[in-house]
Amino acid sequence: MTAYVALGDSYAAGVGGGDRVDTCWRADRGYPVQVARATRTPTAYAACIGATVDDVRAVQLDALDEATRWVTLTVGGNDVGFTPVLVAAAEPAWLNDSRDDIERALRTLREDLPGSLRGLYAEVRDRAPDATVVVTGYPRLFSSEDCQLATFFTGTEIAMLNDAAVELSGVVRTEAEAAGFGFVDVLDAFVGHAICADEEWVHGVSLPLAQSFHPRPAGHDAYSRAVLAGLRLEAAEEGDPPVVTRVPSRGSAPVFRLPRLRSARSREEAARWGLDADRMADLARTVEPMTPSTPAQEQEAADELHAMHRAVLERRGIPS
């Protein structure tokens, strides 16, 4: 019997909020640990990186029972292809135009996700009939421009992705409230703190790559404040760590990877669009995270790569 159960995906598993604790990540900066401190009760930490609605239903819900008093849940992003869409949008124009990828994700969001969440929420209520349940949304990830060295998000893609985050949170809110659950909206809290903002609460591309596009410690702290408020709990003073059982779990969704700029396909497509493929590959090697380059060399190479990207955008008639 566990009083508090934390369910969900990487945003609930604390990815980006500190060192990986186990295969599901579950860093101590994740909001479930802060809720565990506030409730001062044994906690089942079931949330896992890569979890989808089906993963939660198949594995994580076993942590619930009739004695459960509090449940938190963050899920839905992986069901609409959160990571594959980011991978597609990060690619340069000679490799991809991600607008179709984003539109496919939006169709899944609109047509499939509401029913999936509805079924999950009904099962949560059935297994924990007396629990207070709070469901969270997701933040916008991007500022107005991509400032990163090895990704190629256009302004159009950034706007579409940010709008999709708002729509995703709206669907999660609608289904959560229909189920009688509380909903925690973090969209406003993250305004001014997206990737490339002066004070980032979200990781851009970073090592390990799995934490890219997830909250930084300050972002997880913002989630914690919002979730505690949603549960009507007061933050606990730092002290003895809570009793947290990390429940065996799994996630089936992929993690982020960088565009494969030096692949055979990238070379072929670069040449097809009139670029010097060998030059492109040399520049790509310079900006790769493990290459021993100086910051000035990395920036110079990135500037030239992005100039190539803009040239192909123009040739393909893709809005920048």
The secondary structure element, H or E, covering residue 245 is strand 244-246
Tell me how far CA of residue 296 lies from CA of 61, 204, 261, 284, 302, in angstroms: 50, 19, 20, 14, 10
Question: Catalytic one among 10, 116, 169, 249?
Answer: 10
Question: Catalytic one among 193, 203, 214, 220?
Answer: 214
Q: Are 153 and 104 in contact (CB under 8 A)?
A: no
* DSSP-based three-state secondary structure for 22: strand
Tell me phi and psi for residue 123, to 5 degrees.
-70, -35
Q: Would you call 10 a catalytic residue per the annotation?
A: yes
Beta bridge partners of 5: 44, 71
DSSP 8-state secondary structure symbol assigned to residue 5: E
Q: Would you call 214 a catalytic residue per the annotation?
A: yes
Nearest one of 36, 59, 37 to 46, comparing CA atoms: 59
Residue-wise burial string across 158-193, b where 16 or more C-beta atoms lie within 10 A, e elsewhere: bebbbebbeebbebbbebbeebebbbbbbeebbeeb
Nearest one of 151, 163, 43 to 87, comparing CA atoms: 151
Interatomic CA distance for residues 171 and 111, integer angstroms: 11
130: which residues sit within 8 A by CB, 6+ positions away?
Answer: 66, 68, 69
Q: How far, in whole angstroms, is CA 194 from its chain's centroid? A: 12
Catalytic residues: 10, 214
